[in-house]
Structure 1
Amino acid sequence: MLNASDLFPRQAPVNGPSRLFAWFQVLLVLLLPFLLASCRSVDRSGLQGPEPPPLIQAFAPGTPLITAGDTTSLLATFTGEGFVQGLGPIGSGLPLAVSPAVTTTYVLTVLAPDGRSETRQTTLQVVPPPVSPVILGGSETLVEQAPATFHVDPAAGLTYRWTLQGSGTLVAGADTPEVALRAGAPGTLVLGCAALNAAGRQTPWVFRAVTVIPLPTSLTLTAPATAFAGETGLGAWVPSQPGSTYAWEITGGQITAGAGTPALTFTAGDPGSLLLRCTLTDAFGQQTTASRTVQVLPAPLITAPAFVTAGLGASAQAAAATPGTPLAWTLINATLDSGNGSPTIAFTPVAPGSVVLMCTDGTVTYVRELTAVAPPSITSFQAVNDLVGTQAPAILQAAFADGSATVDPGGLAIRAGEALTTAPLQTGTTFTLTVTNAAGAQATRTCRVEAAAIERVAGFPNGAGTRNGSGQRAFFLRPGGLAVDAVGNLYVADPDAHAIRMIDLTRAVTTLAGDPLVPGSLDGPVAEARFVSPVALAWSRYHDALFVADPGGHVIRRIQEGTVRTWAGLAGSPGDTDGPFMQARLRNPTALVATDDGGLYFIDSTESGARIRWVSPTQEVTTYAGSGSGTSSDALNRLDAGFGSLGGMARDGAGNLYVTDTSTHTIRVIQTEGPVRTLAGGAGEAGWVDAGTGTEVRFNTPMGITFNPLDGTLTVADRGNNRVRKVDPGSGATTTLFGSGTAGYVNGPGVTAQVDGVQDLAYLPDRRLVFTDVNNNSLRSFFPNSGVQLFAGHGRPQAGWQDGDAGTATFSGPSGLAREGDGTLYVADTASNLIRRIGPDGQVQTLAGQANTAGTLDGPALGGALFGQPKGLLLGPGRLLISDPLNGTLRTLPLDVQNPQVGTLAGEATDKGTVDGPVALARFRAPEGFAQDAAGVVYIADAEAHVIRRLGTDGTVTTLAGAPDTPGYVDAPGLDARFKQPCGLALQGNTLYVTERGNRTLRAVDLTTTAVRTVAGNPIPPGAQDGVGARAVFVKPAGVAVTLRGDILVADEGASAIRKVTPEGIVTTPFGRLAQMGLEEGPVPGFLGQPRDLVLDPQTGDIFFSDGSAVMRIHFH
């Protein structure tokens, strides 16, 4: 319905006539419909002229059909004023924008100036937007040139367009819901589709990729046209295609190899047709099949092997058409050895390749082609190691050609140039390599691998060593000072091992710095640094570093961030001078205390006494306390106090120093203010007394001292009493924490525990006390609730001189060994001064000497005779010859007699020397090792005389090689040669092998010419090293023996190993590990301690050796 606002524009309000005119307009609008109706009702036919022209000439949308949401325009041509219902005024010829959501009819009303009006309507069609299509049908993969049809689900009112990218063609339906196409070359096709509605609106293109794969290739199967029945090694093949698989079928024969490969090996069946079929499946899953028929003929009339070996005889047989007819043979690449004219011949192929056999009976010729292959050959077959531990595998290597190989036992396949690992060996095993060619010819070679283990014969392994490990698996060599870092790692000074050891929070023991075989004062990275005899440690929180007192080098060293540096003193230059660290001189520095400001207190010695000295944070060395007089005395001024020999040192929070005075058996205090006083103990009075006041207390050689972080008391290692004591730092009141007072090794509650040589103490973060138990070669710990326990190390060695069976008998430092054929062992128990016997049943019996008593008396073997550290043994008919180096004599002990008497064969204890002559007049300096030749001549290593002596069968002693009392290292004939401490001897044929402690070499003496030469070793370089000749390095060679193979075994006491030396001087280490001391039973190479002497079992090859407090053997299983 029209209103005034539709017909007339709104105007601003006016006054007077203008307001009257406005009211007139309103009235006109209200009356207009009635006036129009009246006019239409009056018959004007006779009242007016012609019909006036229409007011509206045109009214329509600019686009008759649009998509919902699009915009178009209404266009009108008219005379007057026009209004569109619902939209408002419209100008003639001017577009009016509209955007309907649905189909809409619009009404135009026009008012003429003469009062006429006219209406007209028009309809604008609206369609919904098109929906994006989804391409359906077809396949993700097409074969090239293949047709395919794809479609979309059609929607009402929509049409579709298709596009194709790639090698392909749209065939039909490019503008319909379904399209047909044909694939082109292999690759990728991209098919696109878009939908359009009636208004022409198009959706975005949607695409679908299609992979075009190649056409399956034709397959060609190649195979022989004919074959003989039963013929083997026949081949068929198809071209190889990457990514394809192959399936073979055979009818009338048998597949022997290659069923899943392009190449097939098969055997023909009975005469007739043999069908081969191969199906190839390519990478896209397409299959192609090819087949081939082989005509199988009856077997040839010449019977011979398909393969023969060049150079080896073979035979062939022919069946003539007419039995008894002579046959003439012709051979190509083979020689006819015999049988020409007969059905059977012997022949020898000349060279690898084709061999043709032809024979004829005059009417029929038979032909047979064979293949000659090269004979198998073996270049080498050996084990990587010809000796392994029991339960360890052997690793075998072989070089061979012209055949396949197996190793027995086990039938194990082996390839040339590759290593074969066998099953673990229980016993020594001889392995056989067999190489077989296609003709069945074989070549063989063997190698043997021994399996051995280290076993205890009698006595017990020594607990001392340098081996790292975890907890009780580690070994220490008389451990000394201790220190604990901020996280709880424990550091141990191992002076005899020239090393600093570390025990982490898991109790894993490692070597932080130093080398047990190479003492020295070398600074540098911890792996290269060397120490002489580090005894004391201190951890500095200020430096975050470990300080080491090395009295052997007269220096204090610092280990920080993996580097060792000298902190004070000059290595190898003892002295008492204060000053900057480069100028200061130290003398045997021991105990250390680090302060929070970066300073360091240490105990130092003068030529007559001890002092406490101080290294400032700037490395200035000054004397803090002690006059150096050597007399122990208290004083008001600390520099006037006297100290004899000091052991340990501790510092309290106030700066007071507490020291253990081992020479006076007291605990003394150096107060911050200066006075020095005795806190506990009676000066010069050794003893054990617990008491409430310091003056009543008694100590015996107190050593380590530290503060208990729980109660602030002092903990003191009372070494001479084999106890650890608790001391009040104020009153000196002392009680015993643990230790029974008896030297030994017993864990358990405090009063029953036994220790032996407590050196230093330290508290761990868990408040557990750890201490070094020197003579037990271990670190032990103490908690009040659990008592004393082993913390790290192997514990006390079971040493002694107790007889009994192998499980209970003990030895103390055995060295020389001799063995009888029935298995009886004779042992020089050196430290016990006894001669012992180990029977075949393991029973240990003392034959001569008095336990732990040295002397030179002859007389009854038991209860009378005395020895001075007996070493070498030589078993002769009915007696033992014993070297007695401390007495400078050769002693004899009859065997298998009642009440044997020990006698002196040569030498005089009170008159040592190097005099040659009859045994009664001859003199020795310190005889050790023996050897005896087949004629009965005895050779003696006179170690401290530095010569090799000879005792002839006539009883005359002569000097064979070396100059008496003239040590040196010279290879030369006889007396011109020079030795240094020759100790071990072994004889092989006309060569006498000599080990030298002083020169660290293995020498050889030619008994015919007396010429001396060096087989292996070098007296100059330190350490231990395998190698050839002078490049090999021994540490402390001792016993020596020669194996049945002619190799020389050397007991390297200092290197913790038994070394093997070939006659050519090649040195290896088959038993033990260099510089890893710690004797233990187990598979070889294992771990040894300090092997001294060797003796072999000639039947089994077992090696018996003395080591630590035990007699051991390397048993070849």
Structure 2
Amino acid sequence: MGARSESPAVPDGVPPRLALAGFPGLGVLALSLLLASCRSVDRSGPPDPTPLIQAFVPRPPVITEGDTAALDAAFTGQGFVQGLGPIRSGLPLAVTPAATTTYALTVLGPDGRTETRQATLQVVAPPDPPVVQAAPDPVTEQELVTLQAEPVAGLTYRWSLQGDATPVSGLEGPTFVVRAGAPGSLILGCVATNAAGRQSPWCFRVVPVVPRPPTPALTAPDLVTVGQRASAQVTFAPPGTPRVWALTNATLDSGDGTDAITFTPLAPGPVGLTWATGGVTCAREVTALAAPTISAFQAQSDLVGVGSPAVLQAAFADGTATVDPGGLPLHPGEDLVTAPLQTGTTFTLTVTNAAGARATRTCQVRAASIQRVAGFPSGEGTRDGQGRSAFFLSLGRLAADPAGNLYTDQHEVHLIRRITPDGTTTTFTGDPLHPGNVDGPLASARFLGPVAVAWSPRDGALFVADSQAGVIRRIQDGQVSTWAGVAGQSGRRDGPRLQALFEQPTALAAAPDGSLFVVDGKDANFVRRISPAGDVSTFAGSGLPGYEDQADPLQARFRSLAGLAVDGAGQVFVTDALGETLRVIRAGGVVETLAGQADTVGFTDDPDGRNVRFSLPGAIAIDPADGRLVVADRLNHRIRKVDPGTGATWTLCGSGVAGYQDGDALSAQFDFVEGLAFLPDGTLAISDTFNACIRTFDPLRGVQTLAGHGRPREGCTDGGADTATFDVPDGLVFEPSGTLYVADSISYTIRRVDREGNVQTIAGSATNSGTADGAALAGARFSRPTGLLLLPGSLLISDREASTLRALQLAGPAPQVTTLAGSALASGTTDGVGTSARFRSPEGIAQGADGVLYVADSEAHLIRKLDPDGSVTTLAGAPDAAGYVDAGNGLDARFNQPSGLALQGDTLYVTERGNRTLRAVDLVTTAVRTVAGSPDLWGALDGVGLQASFAEPAGVVVTPQGDLFIADTLAGTIRHVTPEGRVTTPLGHRGQLGLETGPAPGFLGTPRALALDPLTGDLCFTDDNAVMRVHFH
């Protein structure tokens, strides 16, 4: 066993076990004796390796003064704790030491071995409350708060938090850091704990939290607009120190040296704002956006029909757009279709950028309908449609294809029209506003006065005699080409078709073998043939004047050929219109008179052709059913049938009275039949020229109208709106009371129309034109009254054909007409006083505020001025010098047929037929400028200034808003011109002539004069044989 420590000896006579068991209070002495006794035991055997003491620990190992702990021991044998006495294994021994104590356990094992182990119980003092530094008083929101407990060895610290704060440090330790939240109070607590786990009383600190003092802040909009003033402001700035601003990409407008400024951005992009004072600086960067712009906002048409939508168009940039009313979005490059308009509406376009800057523009759209005041539309025009809704003008010859489609020429408007079997009429090719000689697709081809058509059954082509161009055109497979002749060259040259020349082709007939026969010549006095191979030759006629049948066809003479037809035997039939006969060129070449008597007019049916009489016979067609000829006897208003062998002639249909009436064959009425063609079913198609319609005839159904509006109603009948008639009414002027005066030009009268549409003739005579002055109705006569102007107590009239200015008294029991200026005896350009001055076809009249009158002297190409004293002088233009020149001095300017006049302030607006322009004369300087249109353009194109085009501008009127309406006669439209020169077409359809009432834009015929109703603001106009109004709702 190892060395043993020396211990005091046990007194003699006291066994060690007894001493431990019976005398626990023996203490150290007993322990010593016990140890000594143990040492005397024989230990000569091998050592026992098993420990006697398995555990000896205080629980808890640390206590606070005055607390009790337990000594836990696990051992084998008898145990004794020094200073305490025996202890039993597994039974805790309570101890309450005053200070830290080390206890020794000695165990005597069964084998006599002893073992000792020590255990220390730590005794600590109870903790005092923590000493925490004084809390800040107060702190500001978001400020860090740090509390420090004075550290004491052996103690740990823990913190608590009540209130709005966020711990920054942990809750353990002598230091506690939090970030104050919202204003209020924080309660921070600290507790100390000793090693034994005893807690001290809590120490609390209350920390007031106050709002953080505001720091200077620079505020400005995130987005601003270039060129528009914006503001910036610094808040919570310290008082009393100078303020300094620095800006980039902006100008400082106001507020320098203060805390609030206004500034204007210079360009799109960043704008820097810096404010400084007393060492404090605030900076802010904002973004400048381009200002929204509107370069255009208009309606596709300034005037729409009642119940129709407006189509709005705009050009804008740098923003999004809305249109009011309705807040409707409008996107760049897109049209906005509004809801249907029942009244005129002002639309406002607002373009807004992201910064809220706005640009606005308005446009007005008027809702209107076209109404008849008095009179009746003529029924003539170029408007497509079905049945009677179609309109024709200058109907010519007819040709039919195998499908039953009809083709007709309209030479005055340079068109070829097609009529389907159900009566639907369309424009087949040509453009009434752009005549010319242009080959190509149907849509782009142009004609110049086409007067005849013929269908060639051999190759399925339509041939056209393009008279004014001097060529023969062919239409096949949707293409128009020049078949024979040289456009623009006139002559009588035979040869290959494209080298041959024609003088003036006027009639055509296609032969079964593919040959084409042509009536040619300025007097239509010879016949040409174009062979199937394309060679042109003279077939008949010497070209000399007269009337002579001949065995040699080239020696025959013709007065003026009109109709032409070829039969299957090669016989060529012609009507000699001025010779009043039907003639035939036999297959052998002999020219004979088949029916009629040369140069004898009349009407006679007879089995003997020599006894037959015609009156201007025209078109010929061969009846496929019997091979007989059908002839249009134009001035007899009949259609005759002729036996080609004998000349026997009888009336097929027509009463012989000019008129318009469908019905059975001999009661039907025609008025100048110009074309005939047989349809595949044997029905005869008829172009009834002056009735402006296509008729059909067969024996069972009689005469019926297939297409066309019908006979024009013209005249000079007084009466109500539904009975009165006009004949090309021209000038218009209103009295302030709303009474309307009309210059009825072809009836040579002045008419008055009251508010109910009742019409009364107040001067002139419908049966007698003339130049006489005198009593308005009894003696005064007019040649062609055109322009009207209301003067105090009288009506000023420009009498175009008389080249005078006339005055009609409106007051008194016996109104008189007098000549104010000019002379009916001689036209001219002489300046002078009253009747010593000369005019040449005066038309439009206007009056200035000073009483000076202005006259468009049309054929003199002048603008004349008539002073109150009667003196006539030339304001602008040069006498008889037609031209187109703008100039700073009116006398250096040139005009070409000035027509309408309208005055606004010191500006005199002039429409020109010849130049197809709207001009303006400055009455102060006499300078002349072009407002719209160009002499180089002919048509009806909308646009601005010189980009726009007119067909035949006539009447013009200025509205109270400063814009103008112009009657564009040949275009069949009324144009609108803004003060900036923007031209639109609010009324009528370009090239689609055919007057009709109903919602605008509607269809017009040939509008001429314009006037504004002083009571309603409606626009009145003359058109065809009617007085119309555009009513603005």
Structure 2 length normalisation: TM-score? 0.69
Displacement of 1:453: 1.3
Displacement of 1:1110: 1.0
Aligned to 2:659: 744
CA distance in 1, matches of 2:306, 2:364: 14
Distance 1:921-1:1081 versus aligned 2 partners, 3 A rule: same
Aligned to 1:896: 811
Which residue, out of 573, 581, 604, partners 1:658?
Answer: 573
**Contact 2:511–2:567 under 8 Å retained in 1:** no
Displacement of 1:783: 2.2
**Contact 1:479–1:774 under 8 Å retained in 2:** yes
Aligned to 2:76: none
- The reply on whether 1:667 has 2:607 as its aligned counterpart is no
Aligned to 2:764: 849
After superposition, the C-alpha distances for 1:375-395 in whole angstroms (9 at most, x for unaligned) are: xx9977966444321111235
Deviates more, 1:1095-1104 or 1:832-841: 1095-1104
Aligned to 1:878: 793
Q: SS where residue 746 of structure 2 aligns?
A: helix
After superposition, the C-alpha distances for 1:357-376 in whole angstroms (9 at most, x for unaligned) are: xxxxxxxxxxxxxxxxx9xx
Aligned to 1:716: 631
**Contact 1:478–1:776 under 8 Å retained in 2:** no
Aligned to 1:927: 842
**Contact 2:527–2:540 under 8 Å retained in 1:** yes
After superposition, the C-alpha distances for 1:579-635 in whole angstroms (9 at most, x for unaligned) are: 22233221211221212322111112266x611221111211112222222221222
After superposition, the C-alpha distances for 1:62-85 in whole angstroms (9 at most, x for unaligned) are: xxxxxxxxxxxxxxxxxxxxxxxx
Aligned to 1:474: 390
Deviates more, 1:479-488 or 1:1023-1032: 1023-1032
Displacement of 1:310: 8.4
Letter in 1 for 2:694: L
CA distance in 1, matches of 2:492, 2:321: 78
The correspondence of residues 673-692 of structure 1 with structure 2, limited to 5 A, is 673-692=588-607
CA distance in 1, matches of 2:235, 2:659: 86
Deviates more, 1:812-821 or 1:543-552: 543-552
Displacement of 1:462: 1.9
The correspondence of residues 744-783 of structure 1 with structure 2, limited to 5 A, is 744-783=659-698
Gaps of 5+ in 2: 1-219, 223-231, 238-259, 264-287
CA distance in 2, matches of 1:571, 1:403: 55
Aligned to 2:825: 910
Distance 1:740-1:974 versus aligned 2 partners, 3 A rule: same
Aligned to 1:202: none
Q: SS where residue 772 of structure 2 aligns?
A: coil
Letter in 1 for 2:982: I
CA distance in 2, matches of 1:384, 1:857: 50
- The reply on whether 1:547 has 2:463 as its aligned counterpart is yes
CA distance in 1, matches of 2:235, 2:574: 100
Aligned to 2:997: 1081
After superposition, the C-alpha distances for 1:1037-1060 in whole angstroms (9 at most, x for unaligned) are: 111111122112211112111112
CA distance in 2, matches of 1:617, 1:767: 27
After superposition, the C-alpha distances for 1:193-216 in whole angstroms (9 at most, x for unaligned) are: xxxxxxxxxxxxxxxxxxxxxxxx
Structure 1 length normalisation: TM-score? 0.64
CA distance in 2, matches of 1:797, 1:735: 29
Letter in 2 for 1:937: V
Letter in 2 for 1:670: I
Percent identity between the aligned chains?
57
Displacement of 1:529: 2.3
CA distance in 1, matches of 2:641, 2:762: 48
Aligned to 1:464: 380
Letter in 2 for 1:1088: L
Gaps of 5+ in 1: 1-308, 312-330, 337-347, 352-373
Which residue, out of 981, 986, 1010, partners 2:902?
Answer: 986
CA distance in 2, matches of 1:1089, 1:819: 22
After superposition, the C-alpha distances for 1:629-683 in whole angstroms (9 at most, x for unaligned) are: 2221222332332211111112222111221111221111211122222221122
- The reply on whether 1:625 has 2:540 as its aligned counterpart is yes
Distance 1:958-1:350 versus aligned 2 partners, 3 A rule: closer
Distance 1:922-1:649 versus aligned 2 partners, 3 A rule: same
Aligned to 1:31: none
CA distance in 2, matches of 1:564, 1:441: 57
Aligned to 1:123: none
Displacement of 1:696: 1.8
Q: SS where residue 548 of structure 2 aligns?
A: coil
- The reply on whether 1:828 has 2:743 as its aligned counterpart is yes
Displacement of 1:837: 0.7
Distance 1:335-1:768 versus aligned 2 partners, 3 A rule: farther
**Contact 2:299–2:365 under 8 Å retained in 1:** no
CA distance in 1, matches of 2:969, 2:715: 21
After superposition, the C-alpha distances for 1:288-339 in whole angstroms (9 at most, x for unaligned) are: xxxxxxxxxxxxxxxxxxxxx989xxxxxxxxxxxxxxxxxxx999899xxx
CA distance in 2, matches of 1:1009, 1:406: 42
Which residue, out of 994, 1009, 1013, partners 1:1093?
Answer: 1009
Aligned to 1:232: none
Q: SS where residue 572 of structure 1 aligns?
A: coil
CA distance in 1, matches of 2:352, 2:830: 69
**Contact 1:334–1:350 under 8 Å retained in 2:** no
Letter in 1 for 2:801: L
Which residue, out of 576, 582, 597, partners 2:498?
Answer: 582
After superposition, the C-alpha distances for 1:938-968 in whole angstroms (9 at most, x for unaligned) are: 1011111111111112221111111112222
CA distance in 1, matches of 2:960, 2:827: 37
RMSD over aligned CA atoms reads: 3.4
**Contact 1:647–1:704 under 8 Å retained in 2:** yes
Distance 1:679-1:415 versus aligned 2 partners, 3 A rule: closer
Displacement of 1:413: 6.4
Letter in 1 for 2:962: G
Letter in 1 for 2:384: N
CA distance in 1, matches of 2:697, 2:297: 54
**Contact 1:550–1:556 under 8 Å retained in 2:** yes
Aligned to 1:793: 708
CA distance in 2, matches of 1:420, 1:638: 69
- The reply on whether 1:965 has 2:880 as its aligned counterpart is yes
CA distance in 2, matches of 1:913, 1:807: 42
CA distance in 1, matches of 2:322, 2:833: 66
Which residue, out of 560, 563, 580, partners 2:479?
Answer: 563
CA distance in 1, matches of 2:234, 2:785: 77
Aligned to 1:78: none
CA distance in 1, matches of 2:321, 2:417: 54
CA distance in 1, matches of 2:595, 2:358: 89
Aligned to 1:238: none
CA distance in 2, matches of 1:444, 1:522: 46
Q: SS where residue 920 of structure 1 aligns?
A: helix
**Contact 1:456–1:1110 under 8 Å retained in 2:** yes
**Contact 2:292–2:319 under 8 Å retained in 1:** no
Distance 1:839-1:638 versus aligned 2 partners, 3 A rule: same
After superposition, the C-alpha distances for 1:506-542 in whole angstroms (9 at most, x for unaligned) are: 4322222222122222223333322111111111122
Q: SS where residue 832 of structure 1 aligns?
A: coil
The correspondence of residues 119-268 of structure 1 with structure 2, limited to 5 A, is none
**Contact 1:575–1:606 under 8 Å retained in 2:** no
**Contact 1:310–1:350 under 8 Å retained in 2:** no
> Which structure ranks higher in relative contact order (CA pairs < 8 Å, sequence separation ≥ 6)?
2
Distance 1:638-1:396 versus aligned 2 partners, 3 A rule: closer
Displacement of 1:405: 7.8
- The reply on whether 1:802 has 2:717 as its aligned counterpart is yes
Distance 1:669-1:901 versus aligned 2 partners, 3 A rule: same
Aligned to 2:23: none
Q: SS where residue 472 of structure 1 aligns?
A: helix
Displacement of 1:857: 0.7
Distance 1:924-1:569 versus aligned 2 partners, 3 A rule: same
Displacement of 1:503: 1.8
Letter in 2 for 1:651: V
CA distance in 2, matches of 1:616, 1:946: 49
- The reply on whether 1:1047 has 2:963 as its aligned counterpart is yes
**Contact 1:831–1:852 under 8 Å retained in 2:** no
Displacement of 1:937: 0.8
Distance 1:707-1:433 versus aligned 2 partners, 3 A rule: closer
Aligned to 1:1067: 983
